[in-house]
Amino acid sequence: MITLKANTEMNVAEFLEEYPFYLFVFGNDCNQFKYVFAGEACEGFILFTILVDMPSGVYDLKIYGQSSSTNEDESLAEFLLMDSAKIYNPVDNCYNMPYLLDENNYIITSDEDVKIKYK
């Protein structure tokens, strides 16, 4: 799982095949967001500087390799990796709480087996 703060440049490294550009597709039951980033190869990793503008939450993340800097169609890119991403957005009301809620109002804990329902 990667953790990102929205509207802030964050550095991320992933083990991926090398492509000129990468399509990142963040999705959950309510939203889908797509971003294209260039990556820099470094000792087996691909390094990214990522800037996203998304609501706080936990998202499925699919990363695709591609040659286009503008394509947002997954069918035109090569699937590389599925992961998850936790996004914190300072403009969300829940960001100021001492915990983050998932889409079902459960508190996100480090132990995925523990589910705590928020009011």
- What are the domain boundaries of the chain? 2-117
pLDDT digits (tens, 9 = 90+) for 71-107: 999 999 999 999 999 998 877 755 455 566 666 766 6
pLDDT at position 76 is 97
The candidate with the shortest Cα–Cα distance to 88, out of 117, 59, 55, 42, is 55
CATH architecture, domain 2-117: Sandwich (2.60)
pLDDT at position 91 is 77
Whether the model pTM is above 0.85: no
Mark 43-59 as b/e (b = at least 16 C-beta within 10 Å): eeebebebebebbbbbb
pLDDT digits (tens, 9 = 90+) for 32-76: 999 999 999 998 899 999 999 999 889 999 999 999 999 999 999
Maximum Cα–Cα distance across the chain: 47
